Homo-oligomer: A and B are copies of this chain.
Amino acid sequence: MTAESGAVFLTEGAHSAQLFTVLSGWAFRFKMLDDGRRQILNYVLPGDLVGLQGSVIGEMEHSVEALSPLVLCVFQRDRLDELFANHPGLAFDVTWLAAREERMLDDHLLSLGRRSALERAAYLLAFLHERAVSVGLGKGQGPVSIPLTQQHVADTLGLSIVHTNKTLRKLTNKGLIRWLGRSCEVLDATELARVAGWEGLGEPVRPLI
């Protein structure tokens, strides 16, 4: 299955939730408040599972939207029981992915709760850079390019679009990032992580799904 950039392909409340594996492209998970405030929860990259909450618990409480053209592999939900029954190794891998997601959310919570705007922005871009590199998106010549707008950054960091712009400008002026059209190039991931006081994900092994 494929999805266009900007397409919301899983929505909150969906009861017939499907489970997907991302083969290529970028997406993000988000929730909204009634008055339109949006919070981006995490980003989805190749190798990630999408819709596990819906499949395991029965209903989705967040939505997922594509940031770039996306290629997905669909899993029927009822086959999850079969997977646990007959493929314990794969079942463990699913749980490994869930634990890794939990760990990323822990990091995001630390950021939103206790880092300043500048630290938060540096953290986010260092994080996305590390994730992009870990799935092989850094192999092209030059810096890694992340497909998002400043509105996405604002809705991830819990900041207004105006303050986000001013904060990203500081990182740009330090030569750590560059903003191009609707994407961000990370020029110095090490320094970004240092500004944020972030240790990195530290993911030695990971299962292939």
A-to-B contact residues, CB < 8 Å? 29, 31, 33-35, 37-39, 41, 52-53, 56-59, 61-62, 80-81, 84-85, 88-89, 91-92, 94-96, 98-103, 105-110, 112-115, 155-158, 197, 202, 204
Contact of A105 among B35, B58, B102 (CB under 8 A): B102
Q: Is the CB of A94 within 8 A of B96?
A: no
Considering the complex, give the chain B residue whose CB is closest to the CB of A196. Answer: B33
A16 to chain B: closest CB distance in Å? 17
- In the complex, A58 Cα to B53 Cα: how many Å? 23
Neighbouring B residues of A91 by C-beta, 8 Å = 84, 88, 91-92, 95
Neighbouring B residues of A33 by C-beta, 8 Å = 110, 114-115, 197
Can you list 6 pairs linking A and B with CB atoms under 8 Å apart? Answer: A31-B110, A37-B114, A84-B89, A84-B95, A95-B98, A102-B105
Max chain B CB contacts within 10 Å: which of A61, A101, A114? Answer: A114
Max chain B CB contacts within 10 Å: which of A59, A98, A158? Answer: A98
